């Protein structure tokens, strides 16, 4: 049976499974609070920007996309700040505090009356996102044991991807039927349930007593950390350039009714779930190869979508593969960050979600600019191709630096360890 995080007693396999499920439930709630806005974008625009929506629906949809960008920017700010400041805190107690913040922030999003106040609430609701995933991933990796780090990360992220299969489409439907505010209250209830599950099932796990904010922040002095963050921020933007505007894409380009949007979200969620678990398993095999494979599939999927989204089959295949390839990158990039950050593990685990949400904000913003400029709802797809291609270029750079250091006899991250490489004479 697995050991507890402090190694003093043993946990039953059943307790470990329930603990992992509790952590994944938090990911489920985060997936809902992050992605429900995408399926309800026209509803948000018409309710919060009624005058603009009546005269220029495209411009209103583009402006409503800033609600998604605001949440993403909250993640970017909150992830490194909270993770670095709280690295010494007991991890279970930190998770409970973050879940409380999620619950209150999501309730505020549902109840505040104007576009500006909801925009502010979405920023606040995003603050605990990265820290939750970072700390939960560390707890899950510890529970899984040696050699299964990326699979532990994938379990936590699996809650987010499964949310895109079940939670996001269902809550989107609820929002279409009962209003987007009701949809966010349902999300808040999921966070409250997660709080109870974590309190009951997740064992105590101490923080790092030697950690300090200064020590954690040393990760920002490492070139490879910045390159890996850029891979997530730019390369992952390809997904969000498309996903942010999936509702108008489905309605205006493919010509389907609004009722079809939740079904398309199910397809995307299935792709995300398959890609996440495949990426976790493959990253434990080879982080480098998995990143190249995932980016290659993502670019091909975006091109397929751009050329065939007017057909139902093209939309389904393209959206499934975009979701799968992008989600395979998530645990892979997180594993890479934990390798190159060395001792700053809490910060590294959280920074992945900062970088991915820079991609969220970047993709949403660039897509909105293109749509507002009159380039149409397919323009974000081609923006996504360009962003993903830049992600490939950065991937080449980071692993080229590894090879260069290996030839000079430096320590190079590989898998979960730092392997000393001796220069051959």
Measured CA distances, 423 to 224, 400, 404, 408 (Å): 21, 17, 11, 6
Pull the structure tokens for residue 406.
């290996």
Q: What angle do CA 294, 300, 301 make, to 5 degrees?
A: 85
Superfamily of domain 13-411: MFS general substrate transporter like domains (1.20.1250.20)
Q: What is the pLDDT of residue 343?
A: 67
Number of neighbours of residue 143 by Cβ within 10 angstroms: 24
Question: Cα 65 to the chain's mean position, in Å?
Answer: 17
Phi first, then psi: give them for residue 101, nearest 5 degrees: -65, -40
Q: What is the DSSP string of 60-119?
A: HHHHHHHHHHHHHHHHHHHHHHHHHHTTTS-HHHHHHHHHHHHHHHHHHHHH--SHHHHH
pTM flag (> 0.85): no
How buried is residue 11: exposed, middle or buried, by Cβ count under 10 Å (0-12/13-18/19+)? middle
How buried is residue 423: exposed, middle or buried, by Cβ count under 10 Å (0-12/13-18/19+)? exposed
SS (H, E, C) 107-139: HHHHHCCCHHHHHHHHHHHHCCHHHHHHHHHHH
Q: Distance between CA atoms of 77 and 305, rounded to whole angstroms?
A: 32
Pull the structure tokens for residue 258.
């609004």
Measured CA distances, 396 to 163, 255, 302, 390, 392 (Å): 32, 39, 20, 10, 6
Mean pLDDT by 10 residues, the chain (425 residues): 47 81 92 84 89 86 84 82 77 91 93 92 90 84 71 78 83 90 95 94 73 66 84 83 85 87 85 84 83 92 92 93 88 81 68 77 84 87 91 91 72 43 34
Q: What is the pLDDT of residue 305?
A: 92
- Residues 348/218, Cβ–Cβ less than 8 Å: no
- Residues 194/26, Cβ–Cβ less than 8 Å: yes
Q: What is the pLDDT of residue 382?
A: 92
Domains of the chain, by residue range, sit at 13-411
The three-state secondary structure class of 210 is: coil
Number of neighbours of residue 425 by Cβ within 10 angstroms: 3
């Amino acid at each position: 049976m697995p050991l507890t995080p402090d190694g003093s007693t043993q946990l039953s396999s059943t307790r470990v499974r329930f603990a992992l499920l509790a952590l994944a439930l938090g990911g489920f709630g985060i997936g809902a609070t992050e992605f429900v806005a995408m399926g309800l974008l026209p509803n948000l625009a018409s309710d919060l920007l009624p005058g603009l929506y009546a005269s220029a629906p495209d411009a209103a949809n583009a402006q409503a996309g800033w609600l998604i960008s605001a949440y993403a920017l909250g993640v970017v700010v909150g992830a490194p700040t909270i993770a670095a400041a709280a690295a010494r805190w007991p991890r279970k107690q930190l998770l409970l505090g973050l879940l409380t913040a999620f619950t209150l922030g999501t309730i505020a999003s549902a109840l505040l009356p104007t576009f500006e106040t909801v925009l502010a609430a979405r920023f606040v609701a995003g603050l605990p996102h990265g820290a939750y995933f970072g700390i939960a991933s560390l707890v899950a990796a510890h529970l899984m044991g040696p050699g299964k780090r990326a699979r532990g990360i994938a379990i936590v992220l699996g809650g987010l991807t499964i949310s895109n299969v079940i939670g996001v489409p269902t809550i989107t439907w609820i929002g279409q039927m009962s209003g987007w505010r009701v949809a966010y209250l349902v999300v808040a209830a999921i966070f409250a349930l997660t709080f109870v599950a974590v309190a009951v099932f997740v064992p105590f796990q101490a923080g790092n007593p030697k950690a300090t904010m200064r020590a954690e922040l040393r990760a920002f002095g490492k070139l490879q950390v910045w390159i890996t963050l850029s891979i997530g921020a730019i390369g992952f933007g390809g997904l969000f350039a498309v996903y942010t505007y999936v509702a108008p894409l489905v309605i205006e380009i493919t010509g389907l009714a609004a009722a079809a949007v939740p079904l398309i979200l199910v397809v995307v969620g299935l792709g995300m779930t398959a890609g996440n678990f495949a990426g976790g398993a493959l990253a434990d095999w080879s982080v480098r190869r998995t990143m190249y494979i995932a980016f290659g599939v993502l670019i091909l999927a975006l091109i397929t979508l751009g050329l065939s989204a007017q057909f139902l089959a093209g939309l389904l295949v393209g959206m499934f593969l975009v979701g799968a390839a992008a989600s395979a990158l998530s645990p892979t990039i997180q594993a890479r960050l934990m390798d190159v950050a060395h001792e700053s593990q809490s910060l590294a685990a959280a920074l992945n979600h900062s970088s991915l949400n820079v991609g969220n904000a970047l993709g949403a913003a660039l897509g909105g600019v293109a749509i507002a400029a009159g380039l149409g709802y397919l323009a974000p797809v081609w923006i996504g191709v360009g962003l993903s291609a830049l992600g490939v270029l950065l991937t080449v750079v980071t692993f080229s630096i590894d090879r260069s250091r290996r030839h000079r006899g430096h320590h190079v991250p590989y898998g979960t360890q730092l392997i000393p490489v001796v220069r051959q004479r």
